[in-house]
Structure 1
């Protein structure tokens, strides 16, 4: 089949050459060099291709042909394509220039030169390379944890581009193999994020696109802490949860729900993303006790208990150096106690002795 196709192509070329008077009618077909080796020229899509052909003298009859027919016969242009023109840098050159080459230009081109003695042909096979281009990639998706996920990345190019996938997490894991499809079995929350598809060949820089995968999972409490607070001061109870989608928070005091703005109770709830804060503006005795933080989304609910403890100012102890080893209390007025030391006992004894001596003198 291939041999017959080549034979038919040769017969067509011979017919065209005879129509152009480049091949005399009486010339035996075998004497025409139509089966000579073919030169290849590789051009990137959008560039300019120059197909070289040289002639022996100015009287030579020349023509360019391709699989579709005649392009140039001598100086006459038969093609209607404005991108095609002759490239004559010298009188003995009959090259063909094709601007903004595209894929449909690829194929076999024949330059035929007829001299007074023989007919010579030059064949050039034009190869068009195409930079890689991602034509289709999965849209951003949201799935529940444990689901199976398939990502698709279709790319075109010549030669065929190599496709690789990479998960853009902190470790930037690259998946093994070169596949248009990336299958993830039982996806986990750690596998959420952006996935990068890269299509590469040697023609130009790789084409890169991304798809985001969001993994839904029920909330779990990641941070909570009980605190102590003074009466009359502000206090904050904080609760943080990890979840996708973002969790909704509720607070309870014992079994009673606290609403976001409970001015009468001096309480206020502030939610920011994955964190919720319960503020007590002015702590009173009724505020101390057990609180419950509840985090919920469409996949589940969880809770944790926090305590608001009463903080007491400790009594300041009397330093030992001020008390002394023989310290005792001495009354000085009603209900008053003062601290005295051993020197007070000596003074009292001397006072008693002086008083007794005065009494004896008076009796005399």
Structure 2
């Protein structure tokens, strides 16, 4: 049996699956396309099936099985299957609960940028002047952790507000070569009533 090769495709693109049984005696009488969830997506009489997924989304990633069912002369049936793995790539999306922080001089502020994207995203932090934060600067630390099957990344920039120059906007930017990039800004402001 011949199926289209395993495929990596960007979210929103169309995917064509071609199942073809090239041998068998007798020839298959039914071709089926089945998801890894055992959902039958299509069936065609004969030894060939073509199926299009329009505007594929990330929830449609998975294994698709082409099944050729053969009915023998005695009425019994048997089948053979070939698998195709479809991986849907998608641009980074940043999820964050809180983006505005109040702090007094001397306080530490952790800002977390949770990123969903495949392939896994690279996360960078930028200061309000646009300069890249490496995480080894004085009073700044960056930690990164992969979760949820290695497609989610949580990057945390921890800033100790040593003086007033640390107040302002910090930007988290996520890239994985699938456009558009994800970007989210966080703000550290003077805590009201702190006496600063």
TM-score by length of 1: 0.42
Q: Distance in 1 between matches of 2:132 and 2:141?
A: 8
Question: What does 1:114-263 correspond to in 2, within 5 Å?
Answer: 135-155=1-21, 156-157=23-24, 158=26, 160-168=28-36, 173-178=39-44, 179-202=48-71, 203=76, 205-226=78-99, 227-228=101-102, 232=106, 234-263=108-137
Q: 2:157 aligns with which of 279, 296, 313?
A: 279
Q: Distance in 2 between matches of 1:287 and 1:173?
A: 54
Q: Which has the higher contact order (CA 8 A, sep 6+)?
A: 2
Instruction: Say if 2:120 and 2:153, in contact at 8 Å, map to a contact too.
Output: no
Residues 1:231 and 1:168: Cα distance change in structure 2 (over 3 Å): farther
| Secondary structure of 1:175's aligned partner | strand
Instruction: Say if 2:62 and 2:86, in contact at 8 Å, map to a contact too.
Output: yes
Structure 1, residues 218-254: CA drift from partner, whole Å, max 9, x if none?
A: 3232335224556545432111233332222221221
Residues 1:225 and 1:176: Cα distance change in structure 2 (over 3 Å): same
Structure 1, residues 333-363: CA drift from partner, whole Å, max 9, x if none?
A: xxxxxxxxxxxxxxxxxxxxxxxxxxxxxxx
Q: Distance in 2 between matches of 1:215 and 1:161?
A: 32
Q: CA RMSD in A?
A: 3.1
Q: Distance in 1 between matches of 2:193 and 2:36?
A: 53
Gaps of 5+ in 2: none
Q: How many residues align?
A: 178
Determine if the alignment matches structure 1 residue 289 to structure 2 residue 168: yes
Q: Distance in 2 between matches of 1:142 and 1:150?
A: 12
Instruction: Say if 1:142 and 1:215, in contact at 8 Å, map to a contact too.
Output: yes
Q: Distance in 2 between matches of 1:210 and 1:240?
A: 33
Gaps of 5+ in 1: 1-134, 315-364
Residue 56 of structure 1 is matched in structure 2 by: none
| Secondary structure of 1:139's aligned partner | coil
Residues 1:180 and 1:311: Cα distance change in structure 2 (over 3 Å): same
Instruction: Say if 1:288 and 1:310, in contact at 8 Å, map to a contact too.
Output: yes
Q: Distance in 1 between matches of 2:166 and 2:105?
A: 9
Structure 1, residues 118-148: CA drift from partner, whole Å, max 9, x if none?
A: xxxxxxxxxxxxxxxxx22222111233433
Q: Distance in 2 between matches of 1:207 and 1:265?
A: 62
Q: Could you tell me how far 1:281 is from its partner in structure 2? A: 6.2
Q: Could you tell me how far 1:165 is from its partner in structure 2? A: 0.8
Q: Which has the larger radius of gyration?
A: 1
More strand by share: 2
